[in-house]
C-alpha cells in the first residue's frame, strides 16, 4: 500500500500548461509485452514506411521527430487521454503535482484538431484574460493549431514568465468570428485549498485541484473553520467547480474527511490484474505514514455537519470521485450542474529513456457501482450558472471511451444521434467575440455574485431550520 502512495497517481483530464492531470497508477511499469505476441508483419510494414519517408519525403525528417509523431499518433488514436510524454512533459508533470508550474494556467484537450479549453484555473493569466471552458484555440501567435499534436501546442504556449503570446480563440456561442487575446505567461503557484467562514456557523471550502498537500490542507482548513466559529458548524459548502482532478490519494483523503473510516470511496476495473483496486477511507490509502493521519485530528462533529458539494461541467475525474462517493453514501447534497464525465483511469508508464506514456488502463466506479464515464455526476439539486449549455463534456470528445452501460454504437444509431445533434445546434452567429471578451468578467466563486454559492448557502440554512422544527 505504501508503494501505491509513493507511485505517481493522478486523477483528471487534458493537459495543463506545464501540468498533466489524470487518474493514473504507475503499477504497470514493470510489465513488458510477450515478444511472441508482437505483430511482426505489421512492425515490418512500420519499418518499411519509416524507410520510405526517410528516403523519399520532400524534405529531410529528423528520426526522433518522426518516431515521436508516430508514438503520438498511436496513443492519440486510442482515446483522448492516452498520450506520449517526452522528457520535458514528464518532468513538468512530476513537478506540477507539487502545485507550482510555468505557463498560462488552463486545462486543455483536443477537439477536431484544435486545442480546447477545458477549464481555466483561478487567479492565473488565462483566467484573468477571460478564457472560458469550451473555447477553441485555433492559432498561437501566427501558427495554426490545426494539425499539431497537443504536446506541440503546449510547448508553444509554455515560455519564460513575463513573455506574451497571442492566442486566437473561437468561442462557439459567439459564432464563427474568431478573436485574439494577448496573454502574459507567469510562474503559476496554485493554491489548491481556500476556505472562509461565510457567516456565523457556516463555512466555505474550495478545492481547485487535488495536489500532494490537498488532503492535509483540507483538514487544516476545517479545523480553522471550527476554531474561528468557536463551535460546530451548522453547514459547510465544499466547492469542486472547475476542478479538473489531480492526485488520487488526495481525492481519497478529502472523501475520508466526511465519511466513516473504512467506507469505500472508489473502485477500478480493467483487463490487467493490477488495475482492479478498491480504495477505502483508511490512512494507508492517502498518507505514507499512517501515524501521521491528519484526518484523525478533525473535530468529530465534521462527520455530522450538513454538507453541500458544488459541481459544474468543469468538475472532472477526482472531483467526480469525491462527489460520487459523498452522494452514494448520502453524506452530502450535490448542487450545481452535471459534471464533466471522465470515468477512465490512466497509468503513467515511465520508459527507459526518461520519457513516459499515459495510457488508459481501467474505468473507475462510485461505491454503488456507477460509471460516470461520458455521463458525469447528476446533481441532487440543479442550479444553473448560465454557461452549462455552452460547455463541452467528456461525451463530446472525439474517440472517447464508452460507458459500459451505454448501447453499442452501430452505423444506424450513430447516424440518428448525429441527426439529432445537428437539429439541436443553433445556427451560427457572426458577431465578433472580441467585444464579448472585453465585457466578460469571470464570476468569483464564493461571493454574493455567485448564484450557485448563494443557493447552496440557502439550502444549508433550510436544512438547519428543518432540524429545529423537528
Supply the residues annotated as catalytic: 317, 328, 342
Separation between Cα atoms, residue 326 and residue 446, nearest integer Å: 21
403 phi/psi in degrees, rounded to 5: -85, 135
- Whole-angstrom CA distances from 341 to 133, 335, 401 are 15, 16, 11
- Whole-angstrom CA distances from 426 to 172, 173, 364 are 10, 9, 34
37 phi/psi in degrees, rounded to 5: -95, 5
CB 282 within 8 A of CB 262: yes
- Whole-angstrom CA distances from 100 to 96, 103, 186, 253, 265 are 5, 10, 11, 21, 28
Q: Where are the beta strands (DSSP E) in 80-185?
A: 83-85, 100-103, 106-111, 114-120, 136-140, 143-144, 164-170, 179-184
- Whole-angstrom CA distances from 444 to 107, 197, 403 are 18, 16, 34
CB 209 within 8 A of CB 106: no
Separation between Cα atoms, residue 233 and residue 226, nearest integer Å: 7
Grid cell of 55 as nine digits: 528516403
Length of the chain: 470
Separation between Cα atoms, residue 447 and residue 362, nearest integer Å: 38
CB 3 within 8 A of CB 28: no
CB 254 within 8 A of CB 207: yes
Q: At what angle do helices 248-256 and 214-229 cross, to 10 degrees?
A: 30
Amino acid at each position: 500500500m505504501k508503494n501505491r502512495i509513493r507511485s505517481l497517481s493522478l486523477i483528471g483530464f487534458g493537459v495543463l500548461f506545464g501540468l498533466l492531470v489524470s487518474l493514473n497508477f504507475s503499477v504497470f511499469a514493470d510489465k513488458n509485452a510477450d515478444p511472441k505476441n508482437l505483430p511482426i508483419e505489421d512492425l515490418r510494414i512500420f519499418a518499411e514506411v519509416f524507410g520510405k519517408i526517410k528516403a523519399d519525403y520532400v524534405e529531410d525528417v529528423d528520426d526522433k521527430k518522426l518516431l515521436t509523431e508516430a508514438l503520438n499518433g498511436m496513443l492519440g488514436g486510442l482515446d483522448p487521454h492516452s498520450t506520449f510524454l517526452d522528457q520535458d512533459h514528464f518532468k513538468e508533470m512530476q513537478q506540477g503535482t507539487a502545485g507550482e508550474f510555468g505557463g498560462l494556467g488552463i486545462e486543455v484537450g483536443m477537439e477536431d484538431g484544435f486545442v480546447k479549453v477545458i477549464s481555466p484555473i483561478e487567479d492565473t493569466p488565462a483566467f484573468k484574460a477571460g478564457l472560458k471552458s469550451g473555447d477553441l484555440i485555433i492559432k498561437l501567435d501566427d501558427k495554426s493549431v490545426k494539425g499539431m499534436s497537443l504536446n506541440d501546442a503546449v510547448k508553444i504556449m509554455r515560455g519564460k514568465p513575463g513573455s506574451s503570446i497571442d492566442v486566437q480563440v473561437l468561442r462557439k456561442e459567439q459564432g464563427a468570428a474568431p478573436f485574439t487575446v494577448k496573454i502574459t505567461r507567469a510562474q503559476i503557484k496554485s493554491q489548491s485549498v481556500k476556505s472562509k467562514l461565510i457567516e456565523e456557523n457556516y463555512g466555505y471550502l474550495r478545492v481547485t485541484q487535488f495536489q500532494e498537500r490537498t488532503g492535509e490542507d483540507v483538514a487544516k482548513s476545517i479545523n480553522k473553520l471550527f476554531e474561528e466559529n468557536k463551535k460546530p458548524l451548522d453547514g459547510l459548502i465544499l466547492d469542486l467547480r472547475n476542478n479538473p482532478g489531480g492526485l488520487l490519494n488526495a481525492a481519497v483523503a478529502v472523501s475520508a474527511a466526511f465519511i466513516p473510516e473504512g467506507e469505500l470511496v472508489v473502485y477500478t476495473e480493467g483487463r490487467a490484474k493490477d488495475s482492479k483496486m478498491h480504495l477505502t477511507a483508511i490512512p494507508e490509502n492517502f498518507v505514507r505514514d499512517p501515524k501521521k493521519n491528519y484526518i484523525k485530528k478533525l473535530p468529530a462533529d465534521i462527520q455530522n455537519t450538513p454538507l453541500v458539494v458544488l459541481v459544474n461541467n468543469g468538475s472532472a475525474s477526482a472531483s467526480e470521485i469525491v462527489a460520487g462517493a459523498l452522494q452514494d453514501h448520502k453524506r452530502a447534497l450535490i448542487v450545481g450542474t452535471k459534471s464533466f464525465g471522465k470515468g477512465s483511469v490512466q497509468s503513467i508508464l515511465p520508459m527507459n529513456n526518461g520519457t513516459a506514456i499515459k495510457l488508459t488502463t481501467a474505468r473507475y466506479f462510485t461505491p454503488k457501482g456507477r460509471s460516470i464515464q461520458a455521463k458525469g455526476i447528476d446533481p441532487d439539486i440543479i442550479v444553473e450558472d448560465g454557461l452549462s449549455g455552452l460547455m463541452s463534456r467528456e461525451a463530446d470528445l472525439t474517440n472517447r471511451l464508452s460507458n459500459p452501460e451505454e448501447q453499442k454504437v452501430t452505423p444506424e444509431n450513430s447516424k440518428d444521434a448525429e441527426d439529432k445533434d445537428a437539429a439541436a445546434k443553433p445556427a451560427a452567429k457572426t458577431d465578433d467575440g472580441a467585444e464579448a471578451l472585453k465585457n466578460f468578467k469571470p464570476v468569483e466563486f464564493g461571493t454574493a455574485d455567485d448564484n450557485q454559492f448563494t443557493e447552496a448557502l440557502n439550502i444549508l440554512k433550510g436544512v438547519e431550520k428543518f432540524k429545529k422544527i423537528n
